[in-house]
Chains A and B, each alone.
Chain A
Amino acid sequence: MDPEYRFSHKHVLGLADLSPEDIQAVLQTAESFKEISARSIKKVPTLRGKTIINFFFEPSTRTRLSFEVAAKRMSADTFNISNSGSSTVKGETLIDTARNLAAMNPDCIILRHPRSGSARLLADHVEVSVINAGDGTHEHPSQGLLDLMTVREAKGGIAGLKIAIIGDIAHSRVAHSNIIGFSKMGATVTVSGPATLIPPGIGELGAQVSRSVMEAVDGADVIMALRIQKERQQDPLFPTLREYAKFFGISQKVVEAASPEAIIMHPGPINRGVELDPKLADGSRSVILEQVTNGVAVRMALIYLIMGGD
């Protein structure tokens, strides 16, 4: 990497805004931080005296905890606000709430919100750094980065790999960030799923579309299954979960079409037996828990880098 390079972003709102060099920097930093979580005393003083607010408008276990663990391992003070506990339920606007939070001088706000573009809206209206922890169906950049880190660890690199992402591409911010991130880093991304869940113009984000799952995973180095959101069942998107599992679920047979060394990923939480055969989720090819471990390291790196660490 260019020795003059510095990570110069104040906010991390999406992988679309990061250059390959930025992504490289986050991954390298994350790799160097990963060891902290393996120590018996899992804490470094790097961000002592810094304040981080986790502002979560959607239910989240993994991402919220991962950000909190990441911040605490670097000695930052963290505060959690969820939608039900925030004044937005009293009618306050997102911008007003954020301005009030900002007036307490935090160093970073981490936002999870059901509306696309909300992280950008916040960043435009407050002085403080914003990390997007998932906004609607737009992006989930820290998830994309932890997936990149996991693949890089497992495969030794990203350029030239074949990545197959299967499932609800239309409503998945994880898919969007991954398509952008993997293609920026030189991998080939193919998506497949019910045609009702493949959004228009996904090719412009960098993905190829395949009608059949078998074709999409053919020779793939990475198979990523996406969560089917059962709450979307009111929309006539596919007939039944049963039929979905049969035609679009990742089964042993599907995996056999991939590269013999293919790894299996899932952003969680898994609907076992719907988008992923439970045996595969727990099998030797699965790196699903490694994704979670790397999530902490990537989030440590993001927080560190946007607070001006070098």
Chain B
Amino acid sequence: MPGSILLKNGRVIDPANGIDQIQDVLIAGGRISAVSQPGSLPDQGGVVYDLQGKWVVPGLIDMHVHLREPGQEYKETIETGTRAAAAGGFTAVAAMPNTKPVNDNQTVTVFILAKAAEAGFARVYPVGAISSGSNGEHLAEFGELRQAGAVAVTDDGLPVGNSQLMRRALEYAGNHDLLVISHAEEMTLSHGGAMNDGALATRLGLRGIPHVAEEIMVYRDLALAEFTGRPIHIAHVSTRESLSLIRRAKEKGVAVTAETAPHYFTLTEKAVDGYNTLAKMNPPLRTEADVVAVCEALRDGTLDAIATDHAPHGELDKDREFDLAANGIIGLETAVPLTLQLVRENQLDARRMMELLSVNPARILGVPGGTLSVGAPADITVIDPEKRFVFTEESILSKSRNSPFLGWELQGKAVLTILEGRITWQENGFSS
């Protein structure tokens, strides 16, 4: 067992317990052993941090990452990906199944969990495939995936084009208490597209992906969730109309949750101009009106979570013709400052930020965390909301460098990440 850690004088933001005040937190035996008035807790001879001006929050949980292992270790491994997670303030990540081979069976799930345990930087929650090989034809073995440790299923990266298969997945997932995650994309509309459809795509001569390609599938999956009475989670929501569909479904009582990614509230399609493949992703970056709608939905509860869709790619995948370049960006190490930007703009308050990045992901996935309750595992993130830094390639811990935020001056950073009482990340220059 790791020794005790005393976190003194930090601003404890723990929405699960309705706390937002200066408190001391004592960690012992890998668990939170006390949360109390500053100065009231005895130093048990362990490490002591004075966290004046810092935030002490439940460990962040990223419910949508691509760790690439097995199969594409040149992009990321479970070790490098979870190290990047820890550096970004995350104590847990949900790993999407589009590895090579696809995580459509217990063997791959067990492998992922073993690698994660070996690395020890973050809890990894494997997400299994909906269809075997994610080829959209037959259901994967949900029961064994669940037994092996998967918490959800999705064919993420690809939509489930066959509506009957999606219906059956929702129904059958109920037997095994698995969440179904939808990658909403109507493929006949998005086919061949490389960026958001519109005037900029026309000017660049790139085939567009119209926003209705997302919305049609969001609607279908909401309708199927309502029809089957089973919960659904919509991944990486990017458009205004998708959000109004989700809002209406929630009002009707459909069991839907939804996430967006920091790039969808930070960037617009303009980032693509000049054929910037670092801003190429699926769904594509949209317009200013969509960004405004995403921020609104983060505030009003239409969106439940911020997940990064961390998608590492090598230079060969990105440094090429725009049409042919891979979709996706790394996100674990920029999520905190980009979300804090919304707090600084008074679009979100700190409590809401923690709901989006920790409380709700834990609840949606049905996993531990999201709380600083006494007795809970000590998964804790310390954020310095003032720290300014330039995001450079050299600073990145992920194995890949594909970020549109390279060279940006960012503000706010995880300076200390604690997983079950163990320090998994300590910012350079920050110490006890």
Further contacts, 6 of them, CB under 8 A, given A16-B203, A137-B206, A200-B202:
A115-B322, A116-B205, A120-B274, A121-B320, A121-B322, A176-B205
| B322, A93: Cβ atoms closer than 8 Å | no
| A205, B202: Cβ atoms closer than 8 Å | yes
Judge whether B324 is part of the interface by a CB distance below 8 angstroms: yes
Judge whether A194 is part of the interface by a CB distance below 8 angstroms: no
A94 neighbours in B (Cβ, 8 Å): 320-321
Say yes or no: A201-B198 contact (C-beta < 8 A), given A117-B205, A121-B320, A138-B204: yes
A113 neighbours in B (Cβ, 8 Å): 321
A-B residue pairs, 4 tightest by C-beta? A201-B199, A138-B205, A116-B205, A117-B275
Distance in Å from the Cβ of A231 to the closest Cβ of chain B? Answer: 14
| A116, B204: Cβ atoms closer than 8 Å | yes
Say yes or no: A117-B197 contact (C-beta < 8 A), given A139-B205, A173-B205, A200-B208: no
Residues of A201-232 whose CB lies within 8 A of B: 201-205
Contact with A along B205-220 (1 / 0, CB 8 A): 1111000000000000
Judge whether A106 is part of the interface by a CB distance below 8 angstroms: no
Q: Can you show 26 pairs from A to B with CB atoms below 8 A apart?
A: A93-B316, A93-B320, A94-B321, A95-B320, A115-B321, A115-B324, A116-B204, A116-B206, A116-B322, A117-B204, A117-B205, A117-B321, A117-B323, A120-B274, A138-B204, A170-B202, A199-B201, A199-B202, A200-B199, A200-B202, A201-B199, A201-B201, A202-B202, A204-B199, A204-B202, A205-B203
Say yes or no: A118-B205 contact (C-beta < 8 A), given A93-B316, A201-B198, A204-B199: no
Judge whether B349 is part of the interface by a CB distance below 8 angstroms: no
Judge whether A136 is part of the interface by a CB distance below 8 angstroms: yes
Give Cα distance in the complex from A119 to B303, angstroms.
41
**By the criterion of a CB under 8 Å from any partner CB, how many residues of chain B are at the interface?**
21
| B323, A116: Cβ atoms closer than 8 Å | yes
Residues of A166-184 whose CB lies within 8 A of B: 170, 173, 176
Judge whether A275 is part of the interface by a CB distance below 8 angstroms: no
Judge whether B393 is part of the interface by a CB distance below 8 angstroms: no
- Pick the contact of A121 from B198, B199, B275 — CB < 8 Å? B275
Judge whether B148 is part of the interface by a CB distance below 8 angstroms: no
B197 neighbours in A (Cβ, 8 Å): 200
Give Cα distance in the complex from A139 to B319, angstroms.
21
Judge whether B200 is part of the interface by a CB distance below 8 angstroms: yes
A139 neighbours in B (Cβ, 8 Å): 205
**Interface residue range, chain A:** 20 to 34
| B202, A121: Cβ atoms closer than 8 Å | no
Say yes or no: A121-B201 contact (C-beta < 8 A), given A93-B316, A116-B206, A200-B208: no
Contact with B along A9-46 (1 / 0, CB 8 A): 00000001000000000000000000000000000000
B201 neighbours in A (Cβ, 8 Å): 199-201
Distance in Å from the Cβ of B186 to the closest Cβ of chain A? Answer: 15
- Chain B residue with Cβ nearest A136: B205
Judge whether A147 is part of the interface by a CB distance below 8 angstroms: no
Judge whether A107 is part of the interface by a CB distance below 8 angstroms: no
B319 neighbours in A (Cβ, 8 Å): 93, 95
Distance in Å from the Cβ of B280 to the closest Cβ of chain A? Answer: 11
Distance in Å from the Cβ of A236 to the closest Cβ of chain B? Answer: 10
A138 neighbours in B (Cβ, 8 Å): 204-206
A16 neighbours in B (Cβ, 8 Å): 203
- Chain A residue with Cβ nearest B319: A95
Distance in Å from the Cβ of B296 to the closest Cβ of chain A? Answer: 25
Judge whether A68 is part of the interface by a CB distance below 8 angstroms: no
Contact with A along B265-277 (1 / 0, CB 8 A): 0000000001100
Residues of B154-197 whose CB lies within 8 A of A: 197
Contact with B along A129-167 (1 / 0, CB 8 A): 000000111110000000000000000000000000000
Give Cα distance in the complex from A139 to B275, angstroms.
14
B323 neighbours in A (Cβ, 8 Å): 115-117, 136
Give Cα distance in the complex from A137 to B322, angstroms.
12
Distance in Å from the Cβ of A91 to the closest Cβ of chain B? Answer: 11
B207 neighbours in A (Cβ, 8 Å): 137
| B321, A118: Cβ atoms closer than 8 Å | yes
- Chain A residue with Cβ nearest B205: A138
Give Cα distance in the complex from A63 to B190, angstroms.
32
B321 neighbours in A (Cβ, 8 Å): 94, 113, 115, 117-118, 121
B316 neighbours in A (Cβ, 8 Å): 93
Distance in Å from the Cβ of A202 to the closest Cβ of chain B? Answer: 6
| A135, B198: Cβ atoms closer than 8 Å | no
Give Cα distance in the complex from A117 to B198, angstroms.
17
Give Cα distance in the complex from A199 to B195, angstroms.
14
A115 neighbours in B (Cβ, 8 Å): 321-324
| A117, B206: Cβ atoms closer than 8 Å | yes
Give Cα distance in the complex from A258 to B319, angstroms.
47
- Pick the contact of A204 from B203, B206, B274, B322 — CB < 8 Å? B203
B322 neighbours in A (Cβ, 8 Å): 115-117, 121
Give Cα distance in the complex from A102 to B324, angstroms.
23
